[in-house]
Amino acid sequence: MLENQEALQAYLEQTCDQETDLLNKINRETYLKETMPHMLSGHFQGRVLAMLSKLVRPKQILEIGTFTGYASLCLAEGLAEKGILHTIDVNEEQEDRVQGYFNASPYKEHIRYHIGDAAEVIPTIEGDFDLVFIDADKKRNLYYFETLIDRVVSGGLLLIDNVLWKGKVLQDNPDGQTTKVLELNRVLAADSRVEKLILPIRDGLFVLRKK
């Protein structure tokens, strides 16, 4: 089964647009230098994020959880002409390397990289958002959603990663972390303010469109 999954993933990557040289470099260096490289969005999910962003043409994007900046650059591909992407991460040890990636990209003037606790940084960012990508502390996903839903414009997207939680959402006796993911999914599924579906990409991507 695992072999089939790996073969399918390879096929998906072969049949979508290829990574830029910079994204390929970030991918490679993340796997060389990071202890948890699987946190990277990666080639196929990166193309999905870029496609969704291009469909929205956001003036302002908020990303919670920068990691090594791969998803940030994919989302930035869809920015409107004078659009801005705000990305927040708590890991200051990666700041110089990730800022270097941003500086090497065509979007360096459009990215605002914030180091700090997202709960403290979000109130300092002015305006509403056309697209929000939440890929950070899973225990606070519902908090982030409730905090941001009123700041997303009508027709805007909220994207939340890791909502299938390695398939553990189907277990009979879920652990504490899985229970949090299940609660999030249950609340979102019942929320009438958004249209929603889960894309079974990698670890599950919840796509929510603000009505």
What tens digit of pLDDT does each residue of 58-116 get? 999 999 999 999 999 999 999 999 999 999 999 999 999 999 999 999 999 999 999 99
Q: Tokens at residue 44, please?
A: 């196929």
Residue closest to 166 by CA, chosen among 127, 129, 138: 138
The fourth-level CATH superfamily of domain 2-210 is Vaccinia Virus protein VP39 (3.40.50.150)
pLDDT at 160 over 60: yes
Q: Tokens at residue 79, please?
A: 């920015």
Give the integer Cα–Cα distance in Å for 158 and 147.
12
Highest mean predicted confidence (pLDDT) among 102-111, 161-170, 174-183: 102-111
- Angle between helix 2-14 and helix 42-56 axes, rounded to 10 deg: 50
Amino acid at 31: Y
53 phi, psi to nearest 5 deg: -65, -40
Would you place residue 26 in the very low, low, confident or very high pLDDT band (cuts 50, 70, 90)?
very high
Q: Tokens at residue 156, please?
A: 């805007």
Domain range list for the chain: 2-210
